[in-house]
Amino acid sequence: MSTIQLTSSQKRVLTALVNLAENADRPVSGRKIAEAIDRNPGTVRNRMQSLRDLRLVEGVPGPSGGYVPTDGAYETLGVERMDGAETTPVSVDGDSVEGVNVEEIDLSSVANPELCRAELVIRGSIEPIEAGDHVTVGPTPATGLRLSGTVDATEVDGNTLLLRVDGMETPAADAADTADAANASAAD
């Protein structure tokens, strides 16, 4: 883990860059980063200078230029690159949200349906998702889990959703296969 200590402003800008860069086929513009974190583009340019000095971002000049996070950026933030990762789709009110992928799902209080919450760490811009939206995530690649609920809040770093869970399901065929395998094992 890196020992670089970032200010909250630097971390917010760097996190937004990493999130936006995941699905971008070109460098991310300072304007797009500023929009994602609701800041002035000049503020983003100033933070980018210090992040370049720390070798966490590379600037790409020109009309199609912008910023690209370095390996050090991922290390400093403690996140992995999602290059080649399988996707877990996200939809809002039944409409697919393009350019996002679920990195992590943390569940709490699953034994009590009234209190069940999920923290979803998203890669890509969650700008189109707001508190009160009904979100469905999944199916996840490994288990086929599909999770749905209402967004309680979005984190200021731009990549975390807090969800009040109203449904969780896995494919019935997989559950039946698992039960059959357990029964066969018990019969042996």
182 domain-assigned: no
* Domain span holding position 14: 8-77
Residue 164 belongs to some domain of the structure: yes
Helix axes 8-21, 41-53, angle to 10 degrees: 90
**CA-wise closest residue to 135 among 119, 123, 115, 124:** 119
Q: Are residues 50 and 101 in the same domain?
A: no
Structure-token match 């860059």, residue found: 17
Q: Is the pTM of this model over 0.85?
A: no
Do residues 158 and 129 share a domain? yes
Is 112 part of any domain? yes
- Tens digits of pLDDT across the chain (188 residues): 457 888 888 988 998 888 888 767 789 999 988 888 888 999 899 999 999 999 999 998 888 889 999 989 888 888 777 666 677 888 898 888 887 788 888 888 767 767 788 888 887 777 778 889 999 998 888 888 898 999 988 875 567 888 899 888 888 755 455 555 445 444 55
Same domain, 13 and 51: yes
Residue 25 lies in a domain: yes
